[in-house]
Amino acid sequence: MIGVVFDPGKLTGKDQEWWTDWEKRASEATIKAIDSFEKWLAGDRKEPFQFKFNSEIWRDLKNWLMRNVFYRKCAYCERIISGSHGDAEHYRPKGAVKCRAGQSDDFVEPTCKIVHPPSKKELDLGHPGYFWLAYDWHNLVPACEFCNSGQGKNERFDIQGGDYVVLLRIDPVHGFDGVQSTTWPDYYYPSAASLDQLEQPFLLNPLNPEATRNPRQHLRFGVRGTVAALKKSPLGQACIDVFRLRDEDLRQDRQKAQTDFRYLYFDALRELDPQKPGESKGQALLNEYAAGKHPFSAAALDYHRIL
């Protein structure tokens, strides 16, 4: 896993036009999801909240991100995703949410304290899912079937912060942002960045991570494609466990990627111009790996430290 930086504000031409159109579709679909939830919350709530999402919107984004941002790799394990396969993976699950039950291997639906604006009370309800982030590009990454399967991440989302967050008043959480409620303007649904601070999730999001949550600060790859949690990081260990980063086939693939990198790098060094070391092919190659343009870029970069 490697952090990938993406800024839509830097897009130009047809990419910018596509992005503007996609964001309009995503924004309209988000409002529909919020409206549906707020009607449910204001009602009798006899049945769990459910909403029929428009999967075409996030599927289109997944395909675009695969081509232009993740270079056809799984965002989590860095495998190449062949053809048009792969999932549009919601870092925070859009629907059902499951978390580990204490220290056991069982998973349960977490209880979520949701503010009921008409009564100003907090209700203990099952988590409705991060429905307002279903079309938020910050919450969407391409993932392979292994990482997004029932044995991988899927609906799992464990946090350190204590309480799962859905709907908050603006005043008590000054400094956080989000999507304003369409029914109760004093309330809002926290943004992905605000939720990271409020919930402190165990799993890392490789898309535009903050410095303290960058995968490079929590995972370290060794020779022969091995992986470990850097400084016994609980976040790194959670990613190793959930995404099965110690899978033997995956380790062998990382080892091969390290070998490929070694040949490419030493070939590039042969053409080093001592007068322009910053413009060398070797540095250009390292920059490509730092941007995540190659399979298992993180493992190759850590291997470079050892060389």
Structure tokens at 87: 């999932």
- Considering 190, 213, 236, which residue would you say is the last residue of a domain? 213
* Same-domain check for residues 254 and 139: no
Q: Is residue 99 part of a domain?
A: yes
Mean pLDDT of 69-91: 86
Vertex 199 angle, CA 195 and 205, to 5°: 65
Report if residue 3 sits inside a domain. no
Q: How far is CA 226 from CA 221, 248, 292, in A?
A: 5, 9, 18
Q: Are residues 108 and 236 in the same domain?
A: no
Whether 171 shows a pLDDT value over 70: the answer reads: no
Q: Is the pTM of this model over 0.75?
A: yes
Residues 60 and 159 in one domain: yes
Q: In terms of domains, do 162 and 238 share one?
A: no
Secondary structure letter of residue 205 according to DSSP: P
d(Cα 117, Cα 9) in Å, to the nearest integer? 35
Looking at the structure, do residues 208 and 227 belong to the same domain, yes or no? Answer: no
- The answer to whether position 226 is within a domain reads yes
Residues 106 and 176 in one domain: yes
What's residue 103's pLDDT?
A: 67
As for how many domains the chain has, the answer is 2
- pLDDT value, residue 84: 58
pLDDT value at 278 more than 70 = no
Query: Both 242 and 195 in a single domain?
Result: no
Domain closes at, from 172, 198, 213: 213
- More confident of the two residues 135 and 96: 135
Q: Tell me, yes or no, whether 63 and 180 share the same domain.
A: yes
Q: Do 167 and 98 fall into the same domain?
A: yes
Check pLDDT > 70 for residue 170.
no
Q: Is residue 2 part of a domain?
A: no
Residue 1 in domain: no
How deeply is 47 buried, as exposed, middle or buried, from its count of CB atoms within 10 A (0-12, 13-18, 19+)? exposed
What pLDDT does residue 161 have?
Answer: 74
Assess whether 85 and 147 both reside in one domain.
yes
Do 184 and 223 lie in one domain? The reply is no
Domain extent, residue 292, equals 219-306
pLDDT digit string, tens, across residues 240-273: 999 999 999 999 999 999 999 999 988 888 876 6
The residue among 213, 241, 272 that closes a domain is 213
If asked whether residues 71 and 178 sit together in one domain, one would say yes
